[in-house]
A and B are shown apart, each in its own frame.
Chain A
Amino acid sequence: MCRIGAIKSLDYIHPSMALQLMSSQQKGHDNSGFAMVMQNLGGIFEPYKHLPTLSMACTDDGIKIAEHILHEAGFLRVMQWTPEVHDEPGLDINAMPNYVFETFKYPKAYKGASQKEKEELLLDTRLKLRAALEPNEEGFAYSFWPDVITLKEIGDPRDIGTYFNLWDADDRFTAKVITAQCRQNTNYDIVRYAAHPFHLQGYTALANGENTFYLKNKEFQQGLHRGYIGFESDSQCFLYTLHYVHRELGWPLHYYKHVCTPLPFEDIEQREDQKQLLGIRQSLAHLEINGPNTIIGLLPDNTMFTCCDAKKLRPVVVGRDERTVAISSEVCGINEILPDRDWEADIYPNEREVVVINDDLEVQRWKQ
């Protein structure tokens, strides 16, 4: 089973905090991997917030393939960071030869391009990288987006932390938002892409649970957008629906909940906006989710939220102090990183609400 966690802070925080959040929950997951997405970057990436950063794990040949593609497309590298790894004997990690975090300038041809055009270019480039690296498993391109870094690896999260030296906090590798999860997707094959959080065009999602409408979601989503690919995990569907509802349809975030877990018909009939809610239920019926789930999502503007399935079969808790909010599958994780908070103010979201944390760290509870 998964355990998920997310931290959003007014200050730049180090991934060690995410490791602490997750490690106290280790009895609930199977220690088979670690994955995290950092957004709103600090440290060495802070000066490059507006430029896309590629997060990739690959072989030596993989680097060549990727550089060729990026060069052909006209991207110019402005910054590169390679984590210093500690390959101590006995570590449980299935490491790739190279971990690449590179920041690029947009191609010259995109000098006058709109934001949207640039965003489409970044997606197309990442998809091209992924396709080129896939055949011989030469590498994994996780994200290629401004102000976002993704790291995923197979193994024991504690050892992965040691390997990447993530246990020792510093101010070079930080972010104001970190989402993390400690498990590979063991339902199916062990594939690096299957570990959440997943990222697509500024949207990040991770989930704890099972999506029993996976096949329905997948069959519908794969025709909706070129970026909806892979489906190595049933939780990717949550990200794609978020991206579709918020970005492609341009609807406000609270409609995401109406798409995933529509209200019962008798409740819809009582609502003034029943026409819209029925329209959503009808046209997006194949994006409905079922089964036990809790989702944590992150928007391009750093808004973080959580919601769960319609029967609240998977719990999550939201805790905070003055400068940090954390969401976690188990409260012990929050106790670990925010021991002095007012725990009576913790929120255990119900099945019909979305808990939203905006960039000022204001926590809102939206009733569906």
Chain B
Amino acid sequence: METMRLNDVTANDLPWKIKYDASRCTMCGSCVATCSFKAIVPKVERRRMVFSEGNFPEPKARFSAVPVIRQTKSVRDYCRGCGMCEKVCPNDAIKPERNPDTRHPIITRCLGGDSIKRGGRKNLEGSTRTLDTIRVGRISQMTDPSLDAQRHTFDLLAPFGRILPPKKLPFTPDADQQLVTQELTPPVNWVYPVIIGDMSIGALSWRMWEGVAMAVAYLNEECGMPVRMCSGEGGVPVRLLKSKYLKYMILQIASGHFGWNRIANAMPHMVEDPAGILIKIGQGAKPGDGGLLMAQKVAEHIQAIRGVPKADLLSPPNHQGLYSIEESVQKMFLSFNSAFKFRVPVAIKVAASATSVSVFNNLVRDPYNIVGGFFLDGIDGGTGAAHEVSLDHTGHPIVSKLRDCYLAAVTQGRQGQIPLWAAGGLGKTGDLAADAFKMIALGANGVFTGKLILQMAGCIGNDLGRCNACNTGLCPAGITTQEPQLAHRLDPEKVAQNIVNYYLAMDQELKKLMAPIGNSSLPVGRSDALVSTDHAVADRLQIQHVC
């Protein structure tokens, strides 16, 4: 018999316990085969059965060897609660159950001597979400009638690019009373107000990335919705760089500059300009930290796209050589603007922070009118890999910070000049249209979303600690993995279909929110349309309190 020591890991120390019913199990092996974490294994149990035959008790013992499924007791190969075993079991014989008595956060650190890393987003749920205390409370009735979401036309587009102050527009009337211009103005693309956020081709499986790209192409070419997707920091397949579909992509550059060698080399062969460039300075889920791609996920094609060996890929927390906001404007924006001959808007993405307004003010006051978008990412944003302590404890909620930036622009009469794009936990409840609409009314030009896109594709991770193993390369849904057998679980066409359908539904829902307030174009900054049931929220956001 095995000797148990006090500090040995047992199932009771782990976040999930496997509930297994041997009497229902047919030993088909599906659950073990499907568990990418090796959290369950087949095992043989020795069973002792005491029985008696005849009219008087004459106990006898019979031993048998019974094949069963058992949970692995390890802090490396442990159950993440993904539920794939339950999904594939024909007899409902097995499922994970959340263990409220888990000691996982302690023993993992004790045994590993290293910080805990994971994917997903902040798992510490406090009070009600701010956006859920807000309602669209200004309904058009009588004198200003509601519109009809089904029959009226709506303009649901948002600017990506630097907007000039009206007096800087280089327009002069000619003899025919027409405004004419000879001068170049900063490039602006009008896009759908929900951008697919930056998730790199290393963080996502190639099949997932392909599915997202397919959805974007379909939304543009078949549905007439100019949805854009951001590449994330990790390069783009050369075939896509040279294709006409590049126009739907926003190329991201972050502190690691991963993939940019290939992008730069492909420039002479591009037949379309990209939709934009996004310079990532910070990320809401792990502010002050660079990107992180664990070696497990650096497969051969990732090495090729990024031009790196198989190793943990850590982007530095800072862009080396950028020591001031002014410098970032001059160096990065000008170099990217000139690289694409001032045809492609260049925007910046930062983590929401107590200092965001200062950064925004510096950019919005820049006399060269260069910065083409301020992407602000809040603490509830997701990530493929980060230190858990960063995920749970660093960052700034998005709602008040977005509002602060908008009101800072209002104070200076510069609203809209640098379009504001917000993210970080939007759509967390599954309803992105409502969150997006409220953010827009608070001053955002649009929103971007990443985690929800994964959930559309089939990601089962949630904010209660389920799965969140994106960093391991063992994604059971084939979404954040580069393992061919796992990636093949995902059908890219189904991914594309789900994303397209979600966008179509969201588009309807956005109209259903615009119609009752009587607006046919996006109500950017129309905070008078919102009310809050929470006094503190209403005060902080300068909207009406209702009860």
Contact = CB atoms under 8 A, between A and B. Distances in A.
B453 to A, nearest CB: 25
A213 B190 contact: no
B415 A213 contact: no
B488 interface: no
A291 to B, nearest CB: 5
A223 B412 contact: yes
Interface centre among B144, B155, B185, B523 (most CB of A within 10 A): B144
Contacts, number: 116
Contact of B143 (A1, A265, A280): A1
B415 A220 contact: yes
Contact of B523 (A1, A213, A273, A275): A213
Contacts of A209: 143-144
Nearest to B167: A249
Interface residues of A, number: 42
A24 to B, nearest CB: 21
A332 interface: no
Contacts of B166: 224, 244, 249, 283-284
A169 B410 CA distance: 49
A219 interface: yes
Given A214-B528, A279-B171, A313 B179 contact: no
Given A212-B144, A276-B181, A250 B173 contact: yes
A310 interface: yes
Interface string A142-166: 0000000000000000000000000
B214 interface: no
A213 B167 CA distance: 22
Contacts of A279: 164, 169, 171, 181, 185
B169 A283 contact: yes
B520 A210 contact: no
A220 B518 contact: no
Contact of A220 (B155, B413, B521): B413
Contacts of B185: 275, 279
Nearest to B163: A282
A230 interface: no
A210 B144 contact: yes
Interface string A126-153: 0000000000000000000000000000
B410 A219 contact: yes
Interface centre among A264, A265, A290 (most CB of B within 10 A): A290
A301 B181 CA distance: 27
A164 B523 CA distance: 44
B145 interface: yes
B177 interface: yes
Contact of A212 (B157, B173, B415, B518): B518
A210 B140 CA distance: 10
Contact of A251 (B171, B188, B521): B171
A307 B60 CA distance: 101
Given A282-B163, A283-B165, A286-B525, A275 B143 contact: no
B416 interface: yes
B485 to A, nearest CB: 45
Given A252-B177, A283-B169, A223 B413 contact: yes
Contacts of A291: 140, 144, 518-519
Interface centre among A216, A222, A244, A292 (most CB of B within 10 A): A216
A313 B153 CA distance: 14
A59 B226 CA distance: 60
Contacts of A249: 166-167, 169
A210 B143 contact: yes
Interface in B173-202: 173, 177-181, 185, 188, 190
Interface class of chain B by DSSP: loop
Interface in A210-232: 210, 212-216, 219-220, 222-224
Nearest to B528: A215
A255 B155 contact: no
A220 B153 CA distance: 26
A330 interface: no
A352 interface: no
Contacts of A216: 523-526
Contacts of B294: none
Contacts of A123: none
Interface string A178-215: 00000000000000000000000000000001101111
A71 interface: no
Contacts of B147: 311
Given A215-B526, A215-B527, A311-B147, A251 B173 contact: yes
A275 B524 contact: no
Given A215-B528, A279-B185, A290 B520 contact: yes
Interface string B116-152: 0000000000000000000000001001110100001
Contact of A276 (B179, B520, B524): B179
A265 B159 contact: no
B413 A224 contact: yes
Given A273-B178, A290-B518, A290-B520, A285 B144 contact: no
Contact of A213 (B178, B413, B526): B526
A95 B419 CA distance: 49
Contact of A290 (B165, B181, B413, B521): B521
A223 B165 CA distance: 12
Contacts of B140: 210, 212, 291
The 9 nearest A-B residue pairs measured at CB: A223-B413, A210-B144, A252-B177, A215-B528, A291-B144, A283-B166, A282-B163, A276-B179, A290-B519
30 contacts: A210-B143, A215-B527, A219-B410, A220-B415, A222-B413, A244-B166, A249-B169, A251-B179, A252-B173, A264-B155, A276-B171, A276-B178, A276-B179, A276-B181, A278-B188, A278-B190, A279-B169, A279-B185, A282-B159, A283-B164, A283-B166, A283-B169, A285-B416, A286-B525, A288-B521, A290-B523, A291-B518, A292-B143, A292-B518, A311-B520
Given A210-B144, A265-B155, A276-B179, 7 more contacts: A212-B144, A216-B524, A252-B173, A255-B179, A284-B166, A290-B519, A292-B145
